[in-house]
Amino acid sequence: MDDLRDKYIGLIADAADEAAIEDLRVQAVGKKGEIALKMRELGKMTPEERQVMGPKLNALKDEINSALSAKKTSLADAALEERLRTEWLDVTLPGRGRRQGSIHPISQVTEEVSAIFADMGFAVAEGPQIETDWYNFDALNIPGHHPARAEMDTFYTHRAEGDNRPPHVLRTHTSPVQIRSMEKQGAPIRIICPGRVYRADYDQTHTPMFHQVEGLAIDKDISMANLKWVLEEFFTAFFGTEVKTRFRASHFPFTEPSAEVDIQCKWENGSVKVGEGDDWLEVLGSGMVHPKVLKAGGIDPDVYQGFAFGIGIDRLAMLKYGIPDLRAFFDADLRWLRHYGFASLDQPTLHGGLTR
Ligand code: PHE
């Protein structure tokens, strides 16, 4: 019995993990373990012997059981100690900074423009960037031989050999969305259409892709006066200061009469300030929608009339945020984006003030 005791107490002390403890438990005090075998021998003993051996065996069984559970606890404690030691973490260390992306000034300005016009009851409409020449030109009263087609520096798509249909174009302005909106919703209409447009041109103030926002208001009693009010209201909200406008007679095939609109500005050490001084800066084309254009869009020009305008979004962004070179907008230079971009939670809004 003493041998049995010494053997198991020794083995338990040396056990390396919980699995070894479990093996020892089965071997020693399990149903078919060594103690159980000894218990069976009790039957062959004399009552006197049994009276001595019985309690001894039970005591041994208890002793081994408690040695097993003590060892189990100490193994678990050691494992915990080890985890605490190796998984130690200095919670006072500063976190690792992660760079956040920024809102591109074009996206920002598009949002601002949409918010201001939404406030005046204009919905946002969109159209495809690859257009048929009918929507981009013919429906806007620019027939095939018209010089405006050449002036627009149009990108044409390719047609297969022998396919004589006119090629699609990358839209040269957002004006085709006027026609699409007229077809889709009929009159009255009050929409703006922001989006990308394309012309083959590249220098400090021109990129082959740029952004416009078209405006279109059609109803039974719309006049040039409404156009002027809407534009002045827009510029004042956008620049956060009263901005005078100057309408100059101009020509577009899709409006009659047509006007180019300048905003009041002042040049100071090579940069421009809007809403001050007595210089003028051209920012948009506009006019009363030509009757032929209304007809092309399925609207009766004897009942309805309206105004339309097209503003360069990139130009607006340059003016408002003092960005000197248009090309940098599309260089995807992270330093530029960090400098001119907007934090996603720090965006100018109509209610919070549109200027920063
Ligand atoms: N589509 C013209 C352009 O791109 C701008 C414009 C729009 C002019 C609507 C008049 C009316 O230059």
- CA-216 nearest atom, ligand 1: 9
User: Mean pLDDT over residues 29-58, rounded?
Assistant: 88
- CA-212 nearest atom, ligand 1: 4
- pLDDT tens sequence across 252-268: 999 999 999 999 999 88
Span from the CA of 325 to the centroid of ligand 1 (angstroms):
23
pLDDT exceeds cutoff 80 at 352: no
pLDDT tier at 169 (50, 70, 90 boundaries)?
very high
pTM (2 decimals)? Answer: 0.73
- CA-175 nearest atom, ligand 1: 1
pLDDT tier at 347 (50, 70, 90 boundaries)?
low
Q: Which two tokens stand for residue 222?
A: 């719309």
| Residue 224 backbone dihedrals phi, psi, to 5 degrees | -60, -30
- pLDDT tens sequence across 292-310: 999 999 999 999 999 999 9
CB atoms within 10 A of CB 33: 18
The pLDDT of residue 354: 67
Strand partners, 247: 261
Q: How far is it, in rounded angstroms, from Cα 180 to Cα 214? A: 12
Element housing 259 (H / E):
strand 255-268
- Shortest CA distance to 318 belongs to which of 154, 157, 204? 204
Span from the CA of 293 to the centroid of ligand 1 (angstroms):
13
pLDDT tier at 343 (50, 70, 90 boundaries)?
confident
The pLDDT of residue 348: 64
User: Mean pLDDT over residues 57-70, rounded?
Assistant: 91
Span from the CA of 40 to the centroid of ligand 1 (angstroms):
106
- Shortest CA distance to 28 belongs to which of 36, 39, 40, 16? 36
User: Mean pLDDT over residues 84-91, rounded?
Assistant: 88
Mean pLDDT for the chain overall:
91
Residue owning the nearest CA to atom 12 of ligand 1: 285
Span from the CA of 310 to the centroid of ligand 1 (angstroms):
4
Decide whether any atom of ligand 1 lies within 6 Å of the 264 Cβ. no
Do 285 and 309 form a contact (C-beta atoms < 8 A)?
Answer: yes
User: Mean pLDDT over residues 13-20, rounded?
Assistant: 90
CB atoms within 10 A of CB 180: 18
Q: How far is it, in rounded angstroms, from Cα 1 to Cα 64? A: 12
The pLDDT of residue 202: 86
Span from the CA of 175 to the centroid of ligand 1 (angstroms):
6
Do 171 and 140 form a contact (C-beta atoms < 8 A)?
Answer: no
The pLDDT of residue 316: 93
The pLDDT of residue 193: 98
Comparing 148-157, 217-226, 245-254, which segment has the lowest mean pLDDT?
148-157
- CA-174 nearest atom, ligand 1: 1
- Shortest CA distance to 173 belongs to which of 312, 75, 3? 312
Decide whether any atom of ligand 1 lies within 6 Å of the 286 Cβ. yes
The pLDDT of residue 215: 98
Comparing 72-76, 119-123, 263-267, 348-352, which segment has the lowest mean pLDDT?
348-352
Strand partners, 307: 217, 288
Residue owning the nearest CA to atom 7 of ligand 1: 310
Decide whether any atom of ligand 1 lies within 6 Å of the 141 Cβ. no
Span from the CA of 54 to the centroid of ligand 1 (angstroms):
109
Decide whether any atom of ligand 1 lies within 6 Å of the 308 Cβ. yes
pLDDT tier at 189 (50, 70, 90 boundaries)?
very high
pLDDT exceeds cutoff 80 at 345: no
Span from the CA of 313 to the centroid of ligand 1 (angstroms):
13
Span from the CA of 342 to the centroid of ligand 1 (angstroms):
29
pLDDT exceeds cutoff 80 at 240: yes
- pLDDT tens sequence across 121-151: 999 999 999 999 999 999 999 988 887 787 7
Element housing 232 (H / E):
helix 224-239
Burial (CB count <10 Å: 0-12, 13-18, 19+), residue 243: buried
pLDDT tier at 182 (50, 70, 90 boundaries)?
very high
Decide whether any atom of ligand 1 lies within 6 Å of the 136 Cβ. no
pLDDT tier at 203 (50, 70, 90 boundaries)?
confident
Task: Among 131, 196, 252, 255, say which to mutate for ligand 1: greatest number of ligand atoms within 8 Å of CB.
Answer: 252
Span from the CA of 214 to the centroid of ligand 1 (angstroms):
7
- CA-197 nearest atom, ligand 1: 4
User: Mean pLDDT over residues 104-130, rounded?
Assistant: 95
pLDDT exceeds cutoff 70 at 355: no
Percent of the chain with pLDDT over 70: 98
Which residue carries 């900074």 as its tokens?
97
Span from the CA of 212 to the centroid of ligand 1 (angstroms):
9
Decide whether any atom of ligand 1 lies within 6 Å of the 154 Cβ. no
Q: How far is it, in rounded angstroms, from Cα 176 to Cα 129? A: 10
Decide whether any atom of ligand 1 lies within 6 Å of the 238 Cβ. no
The pLDDT of residue 346: 67
Single-letter code of the amino acid located at 80: L
Q: How long is the chain? A: 356
Measured between its terminal Cα atoms, the distance across the chain in Å is 90
